[in-house]
Amino acid sequence: MTAVTTPRRFISLVVVLTALCATLAAVSSVGAVDIIFGLPLALFLPGAALVWAIDPWGRQVKGAERIMWSFGSSIGIVILGGLLLNLTGGLTRPHWLILISAVVALCAVVGWVRSGTQAAGEDRTPEGEEPARWVTSLSLRAVALLVAAVVVVSGALVLSQRTSAESSQEHFVQAWILPRPSGNVYSTTAQLGVRNREGGTESLVIRVTVGSSDSSIRTVELKDGQEWTHQVSRNPGQRVSATVAIASRPSAILARVYLAKPA
């Protein structure tokens, strides 16, 4: 077994872990799984591959500094890659996974070649000198920085998941007017109903018009998913109409409904 085996074994491990994490993140629809396997992709693997591609034998950067560079490089790659994908209009999960995998694969090829070149060339460890250790003891400061990096990236991933879920939901206000009793178009009462689906508590302005009379205005505060109903009196078969708007933007009508006068 040659000395080249050690760095190449590490590069192979990084490639395997990247493929595993990227595959599980791609096929999973569970937020917790996405975060667990997304963290190594965003926080360590691409940076580690880049550091080992530049310095496969750990002669220039060693120990805790090497680990810190791996974390820092990963965050930088993710940010730069996200900006590039956003500029090209392709900032999606599959494209992000492909980008990270491509970076790791390219660095693995470079590191694989450089590890063999350095082992056989001028950078070989002189006789009698111990090869550089890959990992040394971490100082308290380094550990604190690593923990802070994990917390920051974890929070960003959680926020991204929540923002993505919220942005995919439709926000609207649902309104209806039904004769009471149901089906009787000549009834003397009608039920006006409003349901809030705006994603949060909203103060809604409801304007009700019966026939040609002046409109009556009500302001109702509803939580997301909560509904409000009101009985409206009318002459038999009289037209009833209503509009709904958010109190902060009363001129922007969110819903408009009416109970038509029978022909």
Q: What is the pLDDT of residue 131?
A: 47
CA distances for 151 relative to 25, 147, 157, angstroms: 20, 6, 10
Q: How far apart, in whole angstroms, are the C-alpha atoms of residue 41 and residue 154?
A: 12
Q: What is the pLDDT of residue 65?
A: 77
Q: What is the pLDDT of residue 7?
A: 65
Torsion of CA 92, 93, 96, 102, to 10 degrees: -130
Question: What's the first-to-final CA gap in the chain, in angstroms?
Answer: 94
Question: pLDDT under 70 in the chain at which residues?
Answer: 1-7, 29, 61, 89-90, 116-170, 261-263
Q: How far apart, in whole angstroms, are the C-alpha atoms of residue 28 and residue 263?
A: 55
Q: What is the pTM of this model?
A: 0.44
Q: What is the pLDDT of residue 176?
A: 94
Q: What is the pLDDT of residue 157?
A: 53
Q: What is the pLDDT of residue 136?
A: 40
**Burial category of 79 from C-beta neighbours within 10 Å (exposed 0-12, middle 13-18, buried 19 and up):** exposed
Q: How far apart, in whole angstroms, are the C-alpha atoms of residue 81 and residue 75?
A: 10
Q: What is the pLDDT of residue 72?
A: 83
